[in-house]
């Protein structure tokens, strides 16, 4: 791996936004989510694989079904993302050389970029809510951290009833990876890009105005997507709504400035830190 001297930092920032390098970075995560869903996202009492999936993943599957393409359980959203990145790479005519050091540095960058979200979460929690990071592992459980699709069988229902604290760490890890990839695919690569294109092509707005509208619009959609509108007692969780909106803005800015690979990696890294690492540290230190 080349050393990150000032002379080649610029080269890294360019390469890390190229589709082939993004694919090299995300492919292990895509495979880990698909295999992990089959292996770990299941009813702990029976061992049966449940239908619990990230809602964004299921919504992407539903999009294919509109065109008569069966969802085939899993795989289609991941395969579609891989295909899109390969097509973009061909269109942009970049080199087919995969720089093995780039994915490693992208991982480090993604983890570093997740830190501001930890600070934001704690700050919003101090100002508007009592728990800060604890709202991800409290009574609301999995639905507070990311939106999971409604179960269609009893095994899925049994699993969705669990809180994050009761889930195996492998399950939380798998769901965190899926949220990072497929929520960003839906809200940034699909919704944000579609809104920007619509504003420029149909309404003839300037690039700046279209970008602002796309950032705000996709962030509002991201906020509504997450269950910030209720709490354990049926109330309205304002601090969660504000937090999710600001997260959406942060992810949208990352997508516009650093590309899909970094924003998906940052989202996954944040979820993993909050949902897997912090609870583990709590148990070790407690």
Residue 202: predicted pLDDT: 92
Residue 161: predicted pLDDT: 40
Domain boundaries along the sequence of the chain = 6-285
**Distance from chain centroid for Cα 136:** 15
Q: Is 206 left (phi over 0), alpha (psi -120 to 50) or beta?
A: beta
Task: Give pLDDT tens digits along the chain (286 positions).
Answer: 445 454 578 899 999 999 999 999 999 999 999 889 888 875 555 545 454 567 787 778 777 666 666 655 557 889 999 999 999 999 999 999 999 899 999 999 999 999 999 999 888 877 776 554 444 444 344 444 566 554 444 344 344 444 566 778 898 899 999 999 999 999 999 999 999 999 999 999 999 999 999 999 999 999 988 866 554 455 567 788 888 999 999 999 999 999 999 999 999 999 999 989 988 888 888 6
Tokens 């906020």 identify what position? 223
Question: Cβ atoms within 10 A of the Cβ of 174, count?
Answer: 24
Query: Cα separation of 66 and 251, whole Å?
Result: 28
pTM above 0.95, yes or no: no
Query: Cα separation of 77 and 75, whole Å?
Result: 6
Q: Is 235 left (phi over 0), alpha (psi -120 to 50) or beta?
A: beta
What is the full DSSP assignment across 15-43? Answer: HTTSHHHHHHHHHHHHHHHHHHHHHHSB-
Query: Cα separation of 182 and 54, whole Å?
Result: 8
């Amino acid at each position: 791996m080349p050393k990150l001297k000032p002379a080649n930092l610029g080269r890294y920032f360019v390469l890390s936004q190229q589709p082939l390098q993004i694919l090299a970075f995300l492919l292990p995560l895509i495979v880990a989510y698909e295999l992990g869903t089959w292996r770990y996202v299941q009813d702990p009492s029976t061992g049966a694989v449940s239908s619990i999936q990230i809602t964004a993943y299921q919504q992407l599957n539903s999009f294919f079904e509109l065109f008569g393409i069966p969802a085939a359980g899993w795989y289609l959203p991941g395969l579609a993302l891989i295909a899109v990145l390969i097509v973009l790479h061909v269109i942009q005519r970049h080199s087919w050389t995969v720089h093995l050091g780039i994915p490693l540095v992208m991982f480090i960058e993604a983890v570093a970029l997740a830190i501001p979200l930890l600070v934001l979460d704690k700050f919003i929690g101090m100002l508007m809510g009592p728990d800060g990071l604890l709202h991800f592992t409290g009574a609301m459980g999995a639905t507070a951290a990311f939106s999971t699709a409604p179960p269609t069988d009893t095994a899925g229902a049994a699993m969705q009833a669990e809180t994050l604290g009761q889930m195996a760490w492998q399950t939380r890890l798998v769901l965190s990876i899926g949220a990072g990839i497929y929520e960003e695919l839906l809200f940034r690569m699909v919704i944000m890009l579609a809104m920007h294109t619509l504003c420029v092509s149909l309404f003839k707005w300037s690039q700046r105005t279209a970008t602002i509208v796309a950032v705000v619009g996709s962030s509002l959609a991201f906020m509504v997507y997450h269950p910030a509108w209720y709490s354990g007692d049926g109330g309205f969780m304002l601090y969660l709504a504000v937090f999710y909106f600001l997260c959406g803005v942060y992810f949208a800015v990352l997508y516009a400035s650093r590309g899909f690979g970094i924003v998906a990696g940052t989202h996954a890294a944040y979820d993993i830190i909050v949902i897997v690492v912090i609870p583990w540290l709590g148990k070790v230190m407690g």
